[in-house]
């Protein structure tokens, strides 16, 4: 039960984590994240890294779509921009990874601003189409600017190095990917306690009212695009370090849809939603594979027989969530928390 | 009553959980099993091939295990579905290699093969092959622990060009390829080869894979008036549309394809227009009885219905992997990447039992052998149009 959490100051009221219990849980989570690579095998560490990269990118899209209300289907292409910048810098200049990641993020952010310009005029589905157009253009550039992007065969890059150690394995890269993601997620959570973040929410809720309140729409919409693409760029850079091969086919349009689906399933306009959605969309197909694997002792050739079924189940799960939990996994989580706030007095 | 029901339910639930837990453990690997892991695209855009590949590998492994394994050691095939996505393929690789001491691996795409190559080098314990015939992978220095069970894409086109140069010296050739890594792969390099063979490349057309409206491209092709038109980088569309429109315009060019557009079921989907469609095929078709082929007969015995060319690819890949394991063990050596690759490269004039109609050798990462087949719509079959062509 939640007791003794009277908020006596505005500062307390605005705190990101407002109860001691919550802070303890958070500390526990960080300990678990730090201990994870010591207990898990290569497969789970790999998935952990993949989930973290997807969380970073989904959080970026959540800033744009969930908090500012601008639908974008260009997230994968922005990740591509970041990935190509990181790969190019790593191959040609050999600059340290944090410089490359920052450059990848900033480069993607600049492209994001360009793509965001139409957003003052067009909204909703129209904007989604405009961002698809932008991603088609970006893909064309990836495939045809051969001297920089390596054309269709792409770029193969060396691993990141830290103090002379090559980060070439998921268990080493984990220490790069996860902290960067944690920083980005914390940054995004804090954003919505600032003027800029609140302006985003105001624009989402009613852009005309926001303008009346003195929020310059174009500037803030472009901020949102820039920030979202920055997140995508950094995530793309992490992706590049993770797979070390970047090709035009690495960031297809379906990947953008994947991220949009992740924030819808997780809960739009909620940082936790982005995290849960990205984890759900990445892990459920793998979990279903595990279940198929468990059935193999009884069902010969279960992998071949059940793989199509697995795809259908995954689709059905997404539809199920949209129907029964339209506000996303984050809402289910909140409900669970509320239950424990009153427990055991009301169950 | 309620309690009884509850207990029952709980008992059933407990049993189910226990069963689940028991099954949750990865199926035990006997200490000396030889493990063949696979990132197999059983769903997604490449599933049509993945299913065949899976069945092919499975059947060959069964044949070997029924005959007592290799030096008494059984082969364990561990497939995992990837939906033809690189990240899922790498996940499958990590999963399988962390659960089993893997000796061989089957990869599903060029992207995966390139991504996993540094990891194969680092591990040094696995020999990998896969569904990709990318020319880039045919580099034993760069991709030390990989091979492909057939000619690479450049070699496939070169086989077609040799056939053309033989049939119709000085002929005019046009390329139609998709705007993908797969489509662009052999174009530049094989153009050089065409010139060396005295053939004239009159047009190169690039389209999107699976595009529907190709009328402007067909007009372009008509202006070039090639004797032969080679498609590459497609599975089906837009090949039938191209051929239909070209035939309606009265063009006489002969159309040709490469491995992935050459399966019997794909070609037959072209309908009447596909009659006479030719292409290079590294393996004999399921129903091919032009050569003495005990292995094909065995396959027909095991599976009475038609099996795709992807099946043959999977089957032969498993056969070559097994052969290299056998040679390594016979030499009393440890099963690691270097020894397995050396054993694979020692394969010379090897009889595949008719899967490939001539004895094969694998000096590098590929088997530069293929045959030209032609679609005969009256029989609904692909029939041999040439003898087996071996590139020097």
A-chain CB neighbours of B55 within 8 Å are 304
Q: Which residue has the tokens 């595990």?
A: A290
pLDDT digits 0-9 by tens, B341-368: 999 999 999 999 999 999 999 999 999 9
Q: What is the structure's pLDDT at A10?
A: 83
Q: Which of B303, B282, B321 has its CA nearest to residue B102?
A: B321
* Nearest by CB: B181 against A249, A293, A298: A249
User: Quick one: which of A253, A257, A242, A236 has its CA closest to A175?
Assistant: A242
- C-alpha closest to that of B359 among B311, B323, B310, B325: B323
> pLDDT-derived band of residue B29, with 50, 70 and 90 as boundaries?
low
- pTM of the predicted protein model: 0.86
pLDDT at residue B25 is higher than 70: no
> Could you tell me which of B103, B61, B54 has the C-alpha nearest to residue B79?
B54
The predicted pLDDT at position A296 comes to: 78
Q: Chain B: residue nearest A51 by CA?
A: B87
- pLDDT for res A83: 96
pLDDT at A94 over 70: yes
Residues 6+ apart with CB under 8 A from A48: A36, A37, A40, A170, A174, A178
Position B62 confidence tier, pLDDT thresholds 50, 70, 90:
very high
Of B27, B55, B83, the CB nearest to A296: B27
Q: Which among A41, A248, A303 is the nearest to B79, CB-wise?
A: A303
> For chain B, which residues make up each domain, given as ranges?
34-151+292-361, 153-281+371-390
User: B111: which chain A residues are within 8 Å (Cβ-Cβ)?
Assistant: 245, 247, 249-250
Instruction: Spell out which residues of chain B touch residue A50, defining contact as CB-CB under 8 Å.
Output: 87, 91
Question: Average pLDDT in the A170-183 region?
Answer: 94
Q: Once rounded to an integer, what is the mean pLDDT over residues A35-39?
A: 94
Beta carbons of A307 and B181 less than 8 Å apart: no
Question: Above 60 in pLDDT, residue B11?
Answer: no
Strand order in the sheet with B200-207: B200-207, B172-178, B228-232, B254-257, B278-281, B369-376, B381-390
* Residue B136 C-alpha, separation from nearest chain A C-alpha, in angstroms: 9
Do B96 and B102 form a contact (C-beta atoms < 8 A)?
yes
Are B81 and A307 a contacting pair at CB < 8 A?
Answer: yes
Measured between beta carbons, which residues in chain B are less than 8 angstroms from residue A296?
23, 27
CATH code for the part of the protein at B34-151+292-361: 3.40.50.2300
**Partners of residue B20 in chain A, C-beta under 8 Å:** 294
- Is residue B27's pLDDT more than 60? no
Residue B24 CA to residue A209 CA, distance in Å, equals 56
Cβ(A234)–Cβ(A185) below 8 Å: no
DSSP character at residue A119? G
Cα gap A100→B295, rounded to integer Å: 54
Residues of A in contact with B43 (CB under 8 A): 307-308, 310-311
Q: Which chain A residues touch B58 with a CB distance below 8 Å?
A: 301
Residues of A with CB under 8 A from a CB of B: 41-43, 46-47, 50, 143, 151-154, 156, 159, 168, 170, 243-245, 247-250, 285-286, 289-290, 292-298, 301, 303-304, 307-308, 310-311
Residues of B whose CB is below 8 A from A245? 111, 114-115
A137-166 burial code (b ≥16 CB/10 A, e <16): ebbebbbeeeeebbbbbbbbbebbeeeeee
Gap between the Cα atoms of A158 and A244, Å rounded: 7
How far, in Å, CA of B57 to CA of B75, rounded? Answer: 11
**Selected residue of A50, A146, A304, A305 to mutate for chain B interface (largest B Cβ count, 10 A):** A304
Asked if residue A236 lies in contact with residue A111, where contact means CB atoms within 8 angstroms, the answer is no
For range A181-190, the mean pLDDT: 95
* Residues in chain B within 8 Å Cβ distance of A286: 91
Sorting pLDDT into bands at 50, 70 and 90, what band is A12? Answer: confident
Determine whether A253 is exposed, middle or buried from the number of CB atoms within 10 Å of its CB (0-12, 13-18, 19+): middle
Q: In CATH terms, are B34-151+292-361 and B153-281+371-390 the same topology?
A: yes
Q: How far apart are CA B19 and CA B156, in angstroms?
A: 50
Distance from CA of A110 to the nearest CA of B (A): 27
User: Could you give the CA distance from residue B68 to residue B72 in angstroms, rounded to a whole number?
Assistant: 6
Residue B18 has a pLDDT of: 44
- How far A101 CA lies from chain B's nearest CA (Å)? 20
Nearest CB partner across the interface for B24, out of A285, A292, A294: A294
Q: Are B86 and A307 a contacting pair at CB < 8 A?
A: no
Distance from CA of A261 to the nearest CA of B (A): 18
Give chain B's mean pLDDT: 88
- pLDDT (mean) for A79-92: 95
Instruction: Report yes or no for ipTM above 0.85.
Output: no
**Distance (Å) from the alpha carbon of B392 to chain A's nearest alpha carbon:** 27
Write the pLDDT tens digit of every residue in A104-122: 999 999 999 999 988 878 8
User: For B221-242, how does the pLDDT look when each residue is reduced to its tens digit (9 = 90+)?
Assistant: 999 999 999 999 998 888 888 8
CATH number attached to the domain at B153-281+371-390: 3.40.50.2300
Q: What backbone torsions phi and psi does residue A231 show, to the nearest 5 degrees? A: -60, -45
User: Which of B91, B93, B120, B178 best probes binding to A when mutated, by most A CB atoms within 10 angstroms?
Assistant: B91
Minimal C-alpha gap between A148 and chain B (Å): 16
Burial B233-272 (b: 16+ CB within 10 A, else e): bbbbbbbbbbbbbbbeeebebbbbbbbbbbbbebbeebee
Is B42 within 8 Å of A308 when comparing Cβ atoms? yes
What are the backbone angles phi and psi of residue B35, rounded to the nearest 5°? -105, 130
Residue A344: asked if its preceding bond is cis (omega within 30°), the reply is yes
pLDDT digits (tens, 9 = 90+) for A294-343: 887 888 888 888 888 888 888 898 898 888 888 899 999 988 888 888 88
Q: What is the pLDDT of residue A165?
A: 87
Pairing relationship of beta strands B278-281 and B254-257 according to DSSP bridges = parallel
- Over range A48-72, report the average pLDDT: 95
Q: How many C-beta atoms lie closer than 10 Å to residue B62's C-beta?
A: 14
A249 and B97 in contact by Cβ < 8 A?
no
- What are the φ and ψ backbone dihedral angles of A218, each rounded to 5 degrees? -60, -45
For each of the domains in chain A, give its residue range(s) and CATH number, in order of start. 37-342 (1.10.3470)
CA neighbor of B364 nearest in space, from B154, B64, B54: B154
Helix (H, G, I), strand (E, B) or coil at A160: strand
| d(CA A93, nearest CA chain B) in Å | 21
**CA distances for A27 relative to A31, A339, B121, angstroms:** 6, 22, 39
Instruction: State how far the Cα of B346 lies from the Cα of B377, in Å rounded to an integer.
Output: 41
H-run or E-run covering A35:
helix A20-39
Residues of B near A (CB-CB distance < 8 A)? 20, 23-24, 26-27, 40, 42-43, 47, 51, 54-55, 58, 79-81, 83, 86-88, 90-91, 94-95, 97-99, 111, 114-115, 118, 122, 136, 179-181, 184
Q: Per the CB < 8 Å rule, is A297 touching B90? A: no
- Encode pLDDT of A239-259 as tens digits: 999 998 898 888 999 899 999
Q: Inspect the interface and report whether the beta carbons of B20 and A248 lie closer than 8 Å.
A: no
Identify all chain A residues contacting B86, using CB atoms and an 8 Å cutoff. Answer: 243, 250
CB contact under 8 A, B54 and A304: yes
């Amino acid at each position: 039960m939640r007791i003794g959490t009277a908020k006596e100051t505005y500062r307390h009221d605005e705190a990101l984590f407002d109860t001691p219990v919550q802070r303890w849980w958070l500390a526990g989570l960080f300990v678990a994240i730090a201990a994870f690579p010591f207990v898990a095998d290569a497969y789970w560490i790999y998935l952990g890294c993949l989930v973290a990269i997807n969380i970073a990118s989904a959080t970026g899209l959540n800033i744009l779509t969930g908090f500012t209300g601008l639908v974008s289907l260009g997230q994968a292409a922005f990740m591509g921009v970041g990935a190509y910048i990181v790969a190019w810098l790593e191959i040609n200049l050999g600059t340290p990874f944090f410089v490359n990641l920052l450059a990848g993020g900033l480069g993607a952010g600049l492209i994001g601003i360009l793509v965001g310009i139409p957003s003052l005029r067009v909204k909703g589905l129209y904007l989604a189409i405009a961002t698809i157009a932008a991603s088609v253009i970006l893909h064309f550039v990836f495939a045809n600017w051969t001297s920089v992007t390596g054309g269709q065969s792409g770029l193969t890059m060396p691993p990141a190095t830290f103090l002379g150690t090559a980060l070439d394995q998921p268990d080493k890269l984990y220490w790069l990917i996860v902290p960067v993601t944690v920083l980005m997620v914390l940054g995004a959570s804090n954003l919505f306690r600032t003027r800029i973040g609140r302006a985003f929410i105001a624009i989402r809720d009613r852009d005309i009212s926001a303008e009346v309140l003195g929020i310059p729409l174009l500037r803030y919409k472009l901020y949102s695009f820039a920030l979202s693409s920055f997140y995508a760029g950094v995530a793309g850079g992490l992706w590049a370090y993770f797979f070390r091969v970047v090709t035009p086919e690495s960031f297809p349009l379906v990947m953008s849809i994947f991220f949009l689906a992740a924030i819808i399933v997780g809960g739009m306009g909620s940082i936790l939603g982005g995290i849960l959605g990205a984890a759900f969309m990445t892990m459920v197909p793998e979990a279903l594979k595990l279940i198929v694997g468990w059935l193999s002792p009884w069902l010969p050739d279960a992998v071949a027989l059940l793989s199509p079924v697995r795809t259908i189940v995954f689709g059905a799960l997404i539809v199920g969530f949209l129907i029964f939990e339209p506000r996303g996994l984050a809402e289910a989580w909140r409900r669970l928390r509320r239950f424990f706030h009153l427990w055991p007095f009301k169950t | 009553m309620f309690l009884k029901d509850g207990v029952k339910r709980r008992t059933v639930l407990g049993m189910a959980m226990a069963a689940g837990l028991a099954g949750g453990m990865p199926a035990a690997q006997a200490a000396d099993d030889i493990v063949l892991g696979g990132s197999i695209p059983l769903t997604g855009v490449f599933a049509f091939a993945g299913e065949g590949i899976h069945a092919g590998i499975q059947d060959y492994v069964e044949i070997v295990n029924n005959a007592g394994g290799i030096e008494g050691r059984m082969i364990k095939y561990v497939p995992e579905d990837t939906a033809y996505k690189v990240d899922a393929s790498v996940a499958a690789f990590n999963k399988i290699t962390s659960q089993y001491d893997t000796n061989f691996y089957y990869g599903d795409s060029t992207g995966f093969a390139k991504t996993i190559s540094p990891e194969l080098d680092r591990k040094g314990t696995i020999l990998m092959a896969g569904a990709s015939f990318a020319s880039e992978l045919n580099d034993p220095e760069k991709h030390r622990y990989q091979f492909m069970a057939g000619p690479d894409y450049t070699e496939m086109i070169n086989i077609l060009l040799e056939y053309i140069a033989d049939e119709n010296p000085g002929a005019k050739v046009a390329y139609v390829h998709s705007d993908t890594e797969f489509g662009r792969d052999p174009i530049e390099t094989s153009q050089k080869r065409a010139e060396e063979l005295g053939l004239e490349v009159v047009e190169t057309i690039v389209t999107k894979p699976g595009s529907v409206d190709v009328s402007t491209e067909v007009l372009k092709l008509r202006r070039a008036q090639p004797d032969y038109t080679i498609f590459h980088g497609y599975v089906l569309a837009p090949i039938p549309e191209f051929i239909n429109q070209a035939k309606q315009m009265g063009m006489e060019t002969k159309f040709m394809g490469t491995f992935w557009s050459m399966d019997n079921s794909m070609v037959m989907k072209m309908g009447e227009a596909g009659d006479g469609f030719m292409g290079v095929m590294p393996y004999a078709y399921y129903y091919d009885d032009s050569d003495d082929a005990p292995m094909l007969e065995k396959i027909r015995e095991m599976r009475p219905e038609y099996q795709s060319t992807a099946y043959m690819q999977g089957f032969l890949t498993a056969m070559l992997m097994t052969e290299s394991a056998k040679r390594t063990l016979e030499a009393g050596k440890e099963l690691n990447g270097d020894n397995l690759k050396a054993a694979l490269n020692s394969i010379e004039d090897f009889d595949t039992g008719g899967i490939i109609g001539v004895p094969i050798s694998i000096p590098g990462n590929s088997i530069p052998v293929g045959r030209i087949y032609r679609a005969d719509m009256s029989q609904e079959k692909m029939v041999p149009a040439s003898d087996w062509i071996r590139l020097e």
